[in-house]
Amino acid sequence: MSGMTAITPTKPEFSGTGTIVNPATGAVAGEVQWTDPADVPNIAAGLRAAQREWELRGAKGRAKAMARFALWLNDHHEEIEDLLIKETGKSAVDAAREVPMLIMILAYYTKTMEKALAPERRPAALPFLAIKKVTVHYRPRPVVGIIAPWNYPVANALMDAIGALAAGCAVLLKPSERTPLTAEVLRRGWRESGAPDVLALAQGAREVSEAVIDNADFVQFTGSSATGAKVAERAARRLTPVSLELGGKDPMIVCEDADIDLAAHAAVWGAMFNAGQTCVSVERVYVHESVYDQFVEAVVRDVKALQVGAGEGFTFGALIDEAQRAVTERHIADAKAKGARVLTGGQRPDGPGSFYPPTVLVDVDHSMACMTEETFGPTLPIMKVRSVQEAIRLANDSPYGLSASVFSGDVGRAKEIALQLDCGAVNINDVISNLMCLSAPMGGWKTSGIGARFGGADGLRKYCRVETVVAPRTNIGAGGNYYHNSLKALARMNRLMTRMALRGPRRLAK
C-alpha cells in the first residue's frame, strides 16, 4: 500500500464497547464499538480498493448515488434528530438544522460537480507555445481522512465528506468520541441508499485520529486551534496535505446607524445558537456609544425570552459536558473579577445536566478572557466604543480570524469596514450566513485555520491532485530546443522567444 505508515500496536485509549450518555439528562443515549488503532490501516486499504470503481463512475454516476442519499436523509431526518438530541442534549430547534444543511450541500454539488471536475483547457501563455494543447485534469486523492468535532455531529461529520465523495475520493470519517452515534446512522444511510462502500468510520479518540492521519492522502480537520496544529504537525511527517477549520472569536460591530432591533436579534441568535458551541458564534460585540444602551436593552430582552432545555419545546440546549461548562464559568468569573457586570445568567442552574444559562456581560475589555479566548459557550460580552475605527482595531486585536459581522444602515459603508477586518468572511447585517454560501470559501485567517471548506469548484478540487497533460497540436516546431540542433539555431530560437515574450513588459513599462 503506497505511502502507508505502520502503527505499532498499543492499548487503545478507548477499547471494546463504550456507553454514550445524554449530557442533558444523564440517560444512556447508546453504545458504540471503539476502533482499534491497529485496524485503521486495513480499513483504509478497503477504502482504497473501493475508491477506484467510485472514481470511474464519473461525476454523473456519483451524482446519482449522492442524490439517492439526499432523499434517504430527508426520509430519516426524524430518526437522526432524535438520536442527535440524545447524544448532545441539544434543543429540538438546534437539532432540526443539521440534516437540512447536508441536503442543501448535496443538492448544490450534485448540480455543479460535473462542470467543476471537468478537464480544463488552458490557453497558450505566449503565441509561440500555441503548438501545444494544455489540459488540466482533477484526479481524486484515494482516501480523505475527516476528523469531525462534537458540536454538530451530523452536519460537521458530512459537510466536508460530501465534497470529497463528489470528487471521487473514499472517506474515512473519525467522529468525535463524545458524539459517535449519529455517524453510525449516517453511514448506514449511505449504504441503504445504494452507494458503494467508500465511506467508513473509525471510532475513538487521539490514537485513532493519529492512525487516520497516518493512513490518509488528505486530512480535513475541524476543531480547536491547538489540536489543529498537532494535526498539521503529524500530517507533515508524510507531507500529507491538510485543510483546517479551527477556533474563532468572532467579533460583531454595531455602528451608530444600525437597525438596533435587527442587530440585537442577530447578536442573541449568533451567540446562543447551539448553546454558543459554534465555531462562527458571535463571541464579542463592539457597539458605538451613541446606541450602546439601546442595544444592550434589546439584547437583554431577547435573551430573557429564550427557553432553556433539551428536546422539544426549547430553544437553547445543554453544553456537551462538564468540561465545556467549566470553560464558560471560568470566563465569566474572570470577567466579574476584573469589573464586568452580569445582566442575565451568570450562574449554573440547579438540577441535572450540563446546562448553563445564556449570559450577557457588559463593562468588558480586552483584559478579560471572555473577550480574547474562545469561550464556545453561551456568553455575549458587549463593549462600548467611541468610534468605528476603535471597533475595527479591537476586532482585529485577536489571534483568531474566522468570521465577523458588521451592522450599519449604509451597506456601502459596512463593506468598507468589512474589508478592514482580518478574517475569512464578513456578514453585513446578518450573522453566520456565510456558512450557507456554498459557492464561496469558508476559511479562517491567523490561528483560525488553513485552507477553506466549500468555495464552489474549489470545494471539490481541494480533494484532488492536479495533473497537466501537454499534447502536440502539430509536429511543426517539435524538438527545436533539443541538443541535436546547431548552436546557431538554438541562439536564434532563444532570441525569438525573448523578443516575443518582452512585447508585453515593454508596453507596460512605458
DSSP string of 33-71, one letter each residue: EPPPGGGHHHHHHHHHHHHHHHHHTHHHHHHHHHHHHHH
Indicate whether 57 and 169 sit together in one domain. yes
The rounded radius of gyration (Å) of the Cα atoms in the chain is 26
Confidence of residue 248 (pLDDT cuts 50, 70, 90): very high
C-alpha cell at 154: 451530523
C-alpha cell at 205: 479518540
169, 255, 279, 423: the active-site residue: 279
Q: What pLDDT is attached to residue 66?
A: 98
CB 61 within 8 A of CB 32: no
Q: What pLDDT is attached to residue 503?
A: 87
DSSP notation for 221-239: EES-HHHHHHHHHHHHTTT
Has residue 506 been placed in a domain? no
Distance in angstroms (rounded) separating the CA atoms of residues 373 and 330: 11
Has residue 487 been placed in a domain? no
Indicate whether 241 and 281 sit together in one domain. no
Has residue 345 been placed in a domain? yes
Has residue 447 been placed in a domain? no
% of the chain surpassing 70 pLDDT = 97
**Any catalytic annotation for residue 279?**
yes
Indicate whether 165 and 276 sit together in one domain. no
Maximum separation of any 2 CA atoms in the chain, in Å: 91
Mean pLDDT of 311-316: 90
Q: Output the CA torsion 200→205→209→210 (10° steps).
A: -140
Residue-wise over 367-389: b if at least 16 C-beta within 10 A, else e? ebbbbbbbbbbbbbbbbbbeebe
Has residue 152 been placed in a domain? yes
Domain count, the chain: 2
Mean pLDDT of 403-429: 98
C-alpha cell at 328: 464558560
Has residue 450 been placed in a domain? no
Distance in angstroms (rounded) separating the CA atoms of residues 416 and 89: 40
Output the domain CATH number for residue 127. Answer: 3.40.605.10
- If one counts every other C-beta atom within 10 angstroms of the C-beta of residue 86, the result is 24
Has residue 505 been placed in a domain? no
Q: What pLDDT is attached to residue 9?
A: 39
Query: Which residue, 253, 257, 259, 266, is CA-closest to 290?
Result: 257
Q: Is the pLDDT of residue 13 over 80?
A: no
Domain that holds residue 241: 17-246+456-465
Indicate whether 277 and 390 sit together in one domain. yes
Mean pLDDT of 209-213: 98
Indicate whether 295 and 410 sit together in one domain. yes
| Size (the chain), residues | 510
Indicate whether 242 and 254 sit together in one domain. no
Average pLDDT, the chain: 94
Mean pLDDT of 269-287: 97
- H helices present in 283-399, as ranges: 292-304, 322-337, 369-372, 388-396
Output the domain CATH number for residue 394. Answer: 3.40.309.10
CB 483 within 8 A of CB 495: no
Indicate whether 143 and 269 sit together in one domain. no
Indicate whether 351 and 328 sit together in one domain. yes
Lowest mean pLDDT of 13-17, 158-162, 276-280, 427-431, name the range.
13-17
Mean pLDDT of 104-108: 97
DSSP-derived letter for residue 143 is E
Indicate whether 180 and 289 sit together in one domain. no
CB 353 within 8 A of CB 341: no
Q: Tell me the per-residue pLDDT of 140-199, one tens digit each, with 9 for 90 and over.
A: 999 999 999 999 999 999 999 999 999 999 999 999 999 999 999 999 999 999 999 999
Q: What pLDDT is attached to residue 396?
A: 98
List of residues 6+ apart from 253 with CB closer than 8 A: 285, 286, 388, 391, 392, 395, 404, 405, 406, 407, 417
87, 98, 207, 245: the active-site residue: 245
Q: What pLDDT is attached to residue 486?
A: 86
List of residues 6+ apart from 183 with CB closer than 8 A: 148, 153, 157, 173, 175, 201, 203
Q: Output the CA torsion 357→361→365→369 (10° steps).
A: -10
CB 184 within 8 A of CB 113: no
Indicate whether 82 and 125 sit together in one domain. yes
Q: Tell me the per-residue pLDDT of 111-139, one tens digit each, with 9 for 90 and over.
A: 999 999 999 999 988 777 888 899 999 99
Q: Is the pLDDT of residue 6 over 70?
A: no
Mean pLDDT of 376-398: 98
Q: What pLDDT is attached to residue 302?
A: 97
Q: Is the pLDDT of residue 4 over 80?
A: no
CB 354 within 8 A of CB 325: yes
Statement: the pTM of the whole predicted model exceeds 0.85: yes
Has residue 448 been placed in a domain? no
Mean pLDDT of 349-354: 93
Indicate whether 363 and 381 sit together in one domain. yes
Q: Tell me the per-residue pLDDT of 40-79, one tens digit each, with 9 for 90 and over.
A: 999 999 999 999 999 999 999 999 999 999 999 999 999 9
Q: What pLDDT is attached to residue 484?
A: 82
Mean pLDDT of 235-239: 98
Indicate whether 231 and 140 sit together in one domain. yes
What is the three-class DSSP state of 3?
A: coil
Confidence of residue 12 (pLDDT cuts 50, 70, 90): low
